[in-house]
Amino acid sequence: MVLHLVVPVVIAWLLFRPIFKKAALLMLAGNLLDLDHLLANPIIDPNRCSVGYHMLHQYWLIPLYVFLAVFSKTRLIGIGLVVHIILDYTDCL
């Protein structure tokens, strides 16, 4: 869970230093993806893989998140979403 906060901030520091605060906040907004956990019962299950289970963690949405990361206007949000999905997927391994 800590990585969901640390990784976006580190990426912002390393790659977007001139706009560090803005970049960090927009990439951290990718954590809003976890709002879909509120629709699950139980909300948090340590034995459940989020990717493929929750509404906003579906495999067919991942290309959309990558697509958002390609364009400059949506890049920071897209990177935040992609990082979030990658970190959630590591829990599945």
What is the count of structural domains for the chain? 1
Tokens representing 37 are 């956990």
pLDDT (tens digit, 9 = 90+) per residue, 19-36? 999 999 999 999 999 999
| Mean pLDDT of all residues belonging to the chain | 94
The CA distance from 63 to 32, in Å, is: 18
39, 55 in Cβ contact below 8 A?
A: yes
Domain span at 46: 3-92
Amino acid letter for position 45 = D
Residue with the larger pLDDT of the pair 70 and 41: 70
User: In b/e form, how buried is each residue of 36-57, taking b as 16+ CB within 10 angstroms?
Assistant: ebeeeeeeeeeeeebbeebebb
The DSSP 8-state label assigned to residue 23 in this structure reads H
**Of the given ranges (6-15, 32-41, 69-78), which has the lowest mean pLDDT?**
32-41
pLDDT (tens digit, 9 = 90+) per residue, 43-80? 888 888 999 999 999 999 999 999 999 999 999 999 99
